[in-house]
Chain A
Amino acid sequence: MSLWQGRRIPLAWLLLTRQPMRLAVALAGITFAGILMFMQLGFRDALFDSSVTVHKLFDTDLVLLSPRSKSSISMTGFPERRLVQAKADPDVTGITPVHWNLLLWRNPQTKGTRSILALGFEPGDPLFLDPAVTAMAPRLTQKGRVLFDELSRDEFGPVAKWFREGRVVESEVAGKRLRVAGLFSSGPSFGADGNLLTSRETLLSLVPNNPPGSIELGLIRLRPGADPTQVVDRLRRLLPEDVTVLTKRGFLDLEMDYWRTSTAIGFIFTLGAAMGFVVGCVIVYQILYSDVSDHLPEYATLMAMGYSLLTLLGVVAREGLLLAIFGYVPAYLAGQVLYGVIHAATKLPVSMAGDRATTVFLMILVMCMGSAAMAMRKLGDADPADIF
């Protein structure tokens, strides 16, 4: 007999839908829990993703860092000589020194200051993956010119808007006048609300007490086909202890690990998601438990008719499954909308990633099925002998 022919009265579905108020409360609870999880996990992932938006700009295979640089907000200098030494390796084809500092940017409209991440490099050096940025780099040869990140937060002033309108946008950093010579796209991170690119010469004039011959980041490009990990090993042996050699991946991981482990942020958002999970569990359990309690005489009747306990447990399990599916759909849609809102408001790279959508669905499923399993214990109270 086919599955369709063998089907039974959809008891789980009818039990849920014949009490629309209770169903609405249950779905609202599950949806709420789902949205909470989507938001918390979204923020967490956005934090880790956004923390490396600048790192991803660089066209590099390896990087040199000071061993004391633990994150993008605490970059310290190391001797530029080390980068030149690295050039001795036969697989190294190019090196680029980069200055990396946090400066105070004065909002040209409100005159308030705010910390901005500034990168300084030789305008002729090819260091960016984005050809548009490389094309604009020559504009920085003139002293006091910067490229401004158009995705920087609004607190830095309407720089991009004014620039596009053709106005001359000038600001002041560390008492020096700067003029915006172009726009690029990167985006704020948790470490920096905005970014700007400039020449080494301009940047060094803004941080006068930077020790001479000291840089914060060294980019190393390798011959095509070279194995980066082998070169890293060789460079580590070659160079003294005052410098760290990392692959580009390692550079990104260092930054993400910092936010994950050295700050409470990752933990807080994971905890937030866990709280959504717990709240959802409590709501679903309450609903299913009272559903089973209310229908206990009916379940007992079914047992008296000859239905097995297993069949009835299956009904509760299916109720849990239906709640999970129908609670997830609105949570997913609301998540999409809220991600859009958050992206517009914070410019953080939040979006509905496929693996997060799956994670949240699995959590909702576990939540509903776990609560159903708890509620099933109540079914043991259904004694068919009691109904006469």
Chain B
Amino acid sequence: MTTLHTASAPPAVPTAEGSATVAVRGLSHWYGTGAMRRQVLQGIDLEIHPGEVVLLTGPSGCGKTTLLTLVGALRQVMEGSVRVLGCELNGSSRHERQLLRRSVGMIFQGHNLLRCLTAEQNVQMGADLLSGLGYRARRDLSREWLRAVGLSDYLGKLPHDLSGGQKQRVAIARALAAHPRLLLADEPTAALDSRTGREVVELLQRLARDEGCGVLMVTHDPRILDVADRLVRMEDGRLWAEEAVVG
């Protein structure tokens, strides 16, 4: 954005598009080809700002996960614009997307931990993505994150020795250990009971705010809606309403 441009047309909104963590404009997406072609996203517009927690709800099959994978640079954008951390994903190469993903933390429905690694090693797989840090520094970072999620006593445990909530917390530590500036979470509480789910989400919210990274979380869980700065509802591939949450 040039100085000339800014001077002639000052932005109407205080947050310029360039500073937004995620800026989606007119995003449409289809699955299948020919007669089987089916539109799953129809002209989506969405913005997420640093430190903002946005919850995405809606019936299953409405395209929430597709939106998440497109924002997470896991899928090629077909139509519209998706800018993540200042990088346009429409027309991006495989390599560009891979590099961008290093700055995007992802927390999955299942914990997706590596079964052969201990909790500490799993978190370090996240920390290992940081360049310029020595092995010891990365290991200490992993331990700090495990302490932050309350698992400092479980460093050497393999995933199958951990409970569902503990595994999900390790996954959160792993996602945050890579210093992401955007966190994507797909129903992180789906496999957890209500109390653990609540704890995990609050932890996620607190850590994300401390790190100043934007959060986009897909959830069906009505008990955790209050952690959001903003609620977005999706139906039939469209974003219907954006409700501000008082909180």
Residues of A within 8 A of B (CB): 1, 4-9, 11, 14-15, 18-19, 295, 297-298, 301-309, 384-385, 387-388
Please report the C-alpha to C-alpha distance between residue A306 and residue B99 in the assembled complex, in whole angstroms.
6
Q: Could you list 28 examples of A-B contacts with CB < 8 Å? A: A1-B132, A7-B135, A9-B117, A9-B121, A9-B125, A9-B128, A11-B116, A14-B117, A15-B116, A18-B158, A295-B115, A297-B112, A298-B114, A302-B114, A302-B125, A303-B98, A303-B101, A304-B101, A304-B106, A306-B99, A306-B100, A306-B102, A309-B98, A385-B69, A385-B74, A385-B75, A388-B109, A388-B186
Q: Which residue of B121, B126, B136, B186 contacts A305 across the interface (Cβ within 8 Å)?
A: B126
B134 to A6, Cβ gap below 8 A? Answer: yes
Residue of A nearest to B112 (CB): A301
Please report the C-alpha to C-alpha distance between residue A1 and residue B124 in the assembled complex, in whole angstroms.
18
Q: For B99, what are the chain A residues with a Cβ–Cβ distance below 8 Å?
A: 306
Q: For B112, what are the chain A residues with a Cβ–Cβ distance below 8 Å?
A: 297-298, 301, 387
Q: For B104, what are the chain A residues with a Cβ–Cβ distance below 8 Å?
A: 306
Interface residues of B in 75-101 (CB under 8 A from A): 75, 95, 98-101
* Nearest CB of A to B134, in Å: 4
Knowing A1-B134, A8-B128, A18-B115 are in contact, say whether A304-B72 is a contact too (CB < 8 A). yes
Please report the C-alpha to C-alpha distance between residue A9 and residue B119 in the assembled complex, in whole angstroms.
12
- Taking A6-B134, A305-B101 as known contacts, 7 extra A-B pairs with beta carbons closer than 8 A to each other, sorted by chain A number, are A1-B134, A5-B136, A298-B112, A301-B112, A306-B98, A384-B74, A385-B75
Knowing A6-B134, A385-B75, A388-B68 are in contact, say whether A305-B178 is a contact too (CB < 8 A). yes
Please report the C-alpha to C-alpha distance between residue A6 and residue B130 in the assembled complex, in whole angstroms.
11
Please report the C-alpha to C-alpha distance between residue A5 and residue B134 in the assembled complex, in whole angstroms.
5
A301 to B114, Cβ gap below 8 A? Answer: yes
B196 contacts the other chain (CB 8 A): no
Q: For B117, what are the chain A residues with a Cβ–Cβ distance below 8 Å?
A: 9, 11, 14
Q: For A306, what are the chain B residues with a Cβ–Cβ distance below 8 Å?
A: 98-104, 129, 178
Please report the C-alpha to C-alpha distance between residue A385 and residue B128 in the assembled complex, in whole angstroms.
22
Please report the C-alpha to C-alpha distance between residue A9 and residue B116 in the assembled complex, in whole angstroms.
11
Q: Which residue of B102, B108, B128, B134 contacts A388 across the interface (Cβ within 8 Å)?
A: B108
Q: Please count the residue pairs between chain A and chain B whose beta carbons lie under 8 angstroms apart in the complex.
A: 82
B135 to A4, Cβ gap below 8 A? Answer: yes
* Nearest CB of A to B140, in Å: 13
B42 contacts the other chain (CB 8 A): no
Please report the C-alpha to C-alpha distance between residue A308 and residue B112 in the assembled complex, in whole angstroms.
18
Residue of A nearest to B105 (CB): A305
B101 to A14, Cβ gap below 8 A? Answer: no
Q: Which residue of A4, A19, A307, A384 contacts B129 across the interface (Cβ within 8 Å)?
A: A307
Please report the C-alpha to C-alpha distance between residue A385 and residue B29 in the assembled complex, in whole angstroms.
14
B116 to A14, Cβ gap below 8 A? Answer: yes
* Nearest CB of A to B35, in Å: 23
Please report the C-alpha to C-alpha distance between residue A303 and residue B98 in the assembled complex, in whole angstroms.
7
* Nearest CB of B to A67, in Å: 68
Please report the C-alpha to C-alpha distance between residue A55 and residue B202 in the assembled complex, in whole angstroms.
87
Please report the C-alpha to C-alpha distance between residue A18 and residue B158 in the assembled complex, in whole angstroms.
10
Instruction: Give the 10 A-B CB pairs with smallest separation, nearest first.
Output: A306-B102, A18-B116, A306-B101, A5-B134, A385-B74, A301-B112, A385-B69, A388-B186, A384-B74, A14-B116
Q: Which residue of A9, A19, A301 contacts B108 across the interface (Cβ within 8 Å)?
A: A301
Residue of B nearest to A14 (CB): B116
Please report the C-alpha to C-alpha distance between residue A304 and residue B101 in the assembled complex, in whole angstroms.
7
* Nearest CB of A to B56, in Å: 12
* Nearest CB of B to A181, in Å: 71
Q: Which residue of A9, A18, A388 contacts B65 across the interface (Cβ within 8 Å)?
A: A388
Q: For B125, what are the chain A residues with a Cβ–Cβ distance below 8 Å?
A: 9, 11, 302, 305
* Nearest CB of A to B109, in Å: 7
Please report the C-alpha to C-alpha distance between residue A295 and residue B116 in the assembled complex, in whole angstroms.
10
Q: For B186, what are the chain A residues with a Cβ–Cβ distance below 8 Å?
A: 388
B129 to A305, Cβ gap below 8 A? Answer: yes
A298 to B115, Cβ gap below 8 A? Answer: yes
* Nearest CB of B to A222, in Å: 68
Residue of A nearest to B142 (CB): A9
Residue of A nearest to B70 (CB): A385
Q: For A305, what are the chain B residues with a Cβ–Cβ distance below 8 Å?
A: 101-102, 106, 125-126, 129, 174, 178
Q: For B103, what are the chain A residues with a Cβ–Cβ distance below 8 Å?
A: 306
Q: For A302, what are the chain B residues with a Cβ–Cβ distance below 8 Å?
A: 114, 125
Cβ proximity bits B158-202 to A, threshold 8 Å, 1 near / 0 not: 100000000000000010001000000010000000000000000
Please report the C-alpha to C-alpha distance between residue A45 and residue B117 in the assembled complex, in whole angstroms.
46
* Nearest CB of B to A158, in Å: 60
Please report the C-alpha to C-alpha distance between residue A19 and residue B178 in the assembled complex, in whole angstroms.
28
* Nearest CB of A to B136, in Å: 8
Q: Which residue of A6, A14, A298, A304 contacts B135 across the interface (Cβ within 8 Å)?
A: A6
Q: For A307, what are the chain B residues with a Cβ–Cβ distance below 8 Å?
A: 98, 129
* Nearest CB of A to B143, in Å: 14
Please report the C-alpha to C-alpha distance between residue A314 and residue B74 in the assembled complex, in whole angstroms.
21
Knowing A14-B116, A298-B112, A388-B69 are in contact, say whether A304-B74 is a contact too (CB < 8 A). yes
Residue of A nearest to B126 (CB): A305
Residue of A nearest to B65 (CB): A388
Cβ proximity bits B41-83 to A, threshold 8 Å, 1 near / 0 not: 0000000000000000000000001001100101100000000
Cβ proximity bits B194-222 to A, threshold 8 Å, 1 near / 0 not: 00000000000000000000000000000
Please report the C-alpha to C-alpha distance between residue A5 and residue B139 in the assembled complex, in whole angstroms.
11
Residue of A nearest to B106 (CB): A304
Cβ proximity bits B128-151 to A, threshold 8 Å, 1 near / 0 not: 110010111000000000000000
* Nearest CB of B to A148, in Å: 63
Q: For A14, what are the chain B residues with a Cβ–Cβ distance below 8 Å?
A: 116-117, 121
* Nearest CB of B to A31, in Å: 23
Q: For B126, what are the chain A residues with a Cβ–Cβ distance below 8 Å?
A: 305
* Nearest CB of B to A9, in Å: 5
Q: For B158, what are the chain A residues with a Cβ–Cβ distance below 8 Å?
A: 18
